Amino acid sequence: MSSPSTSNSADLEQTFLAHLPQIERIIALQVRRHRLGKTDAEEFESWAKEQLIDNDYAVLRKFGYRSSLTTYLTTVLVRLLSDFLNKQWGRWRPSAAATRAGPVALQLEKLIYRDGLTIREAVTAAHSAHPELDERTLSRMAARLPRRDRREEVDLDAVVRSKDAPTVEHGSAAAEREALWQMVEEALRSVVSDLPPEDAVIVRMRFWKCWSIAKISRVLRLDQPALYPRIDQMKARLRAALEQRGINQAGVAELIDGLDTR
């Protein structure tokens, strides 16, 4: 009856082999969820398995039985994929504006500023993934994204010349909105840091990560119906705290409500 830290290599190898089908299932799910191409998928699979075997199965040796092994392997593989993608594509961080605008805006931003597509190409790709949104709406969404450094210039002329071109938000209104949001975000982070840990995490999940209430309920194992009034109460607390900091009530209410409608 050996503990993980005293298990010998043969035991750990046996554990690895016994769970190899499960590991492969998890990797296949990750490949599907992240839409990895065939080459990337094969490369990730072999690299991830190497990481699990490396240093005499160090990953398995570290397992302290505080969770099920399947769940542990899942979190390890999630982290490995994140490391793998960072190495492949560099450390990508979405802008605050795209994060607020939602998952479609995040996708557009990645396609344009990380993967180097033109706006037209990114809109076409996003439309095929989200056929419920027409290209005009997507173009308007793309035009509202903040400019970021990229190797190639965005082909805005092509967008403007098109007869369906959206009205691009001009500098001063967008800049004012961005400045207001930055002020609110700093104040919000300060308020959230004073909340109890579970409330702080719920706020981050709902307002920063835009998770559904069902997802929050599942991940934190909380009662879903009880979360709705709890989040409403948190919104009220956030608004009150921001007002105390002298931030304009109408603008704040609009921003906070806008975050919570996803």
Partner 1 sequence: MSNETAPVNRIASPEDLAALIDGTLSPSERDRVLRVLAQSDEDLAELGEASAILQELQQGYRATPAARRRWERWSRWRTAFVVVPALAAAGVAGVLITRSEPRASSMVGLARAVPVGHTGPQSMADAFGADWVNPGWPEARGDGAVNRPSTRLFRMGVQLAKLEVAHSAADTSAMRLAVVALRTAAATTSARARVMAVEARGMPVAAADRTTLANALRVSEGAEIGVWFDLGVWCESARLTATNATPAATVFFRPSGIAMSTLDNLIEASQRNASGRGEHEDLIAALRVVAAHPVASASDVSSLSSLLNTAVQAGGR
Binding site for partner 1 (CB under 8 A): 1-4, 15, 18-19, 21-22, 24-26, 28-30, 33, 62-72, 74-76, 78-79, 82, 86, 90-93, 95, 113-114, 148-150, 192-193, 195, 197-198, 200-201, 204-205, 208-209, 211, 215, 218-221
Residue 44 C-beta: closest distance to partner 1, Å: 14
Nearer to partner 1, 26 or 184 (CB): 26
- 221 is written with which tokens? 């194992």
Nearer to partner 1, 24 or 169 (CB): 24
Positive or negative, the Cα torsion across 114, 115, 121, 125? negative
Residue 42 C-beta: closest distance to partner 1, Å: 14
| CA pair distance 28, 36, nearest whole angstrom | 10
Residue 162 C-beta: closest distance to partner 1, Å: 27
Nearer to partner 1, 66 or 161 (CB): 66
Q: Which residues are within 8 A (CB) of 247 and not within 5 positions of it... i.e. 6 or more apart? A: 183, 184, 187
| CA pair distance 141, 101, nearest whole angstrom | 8
SS3 254: helix
Residue 239 C-beta: closest distance to partner 1, Å: 20
Nearer to partner 1, 30 or 127 (CB): 30
Nearer to partner 1, 108 or 127 (CB): 108
CA angle 100, 106, 107 (to 5 degrees): 155
Residue 258 C-beta: closest distance to partner 1, Å: 20
Question: Per-residue DSSP letters for 153-201?
Answer: ---HHHHHHSTTPPPPPPHHHHHHHHHHHHHHHHHHHHHHHTS-HHHHH
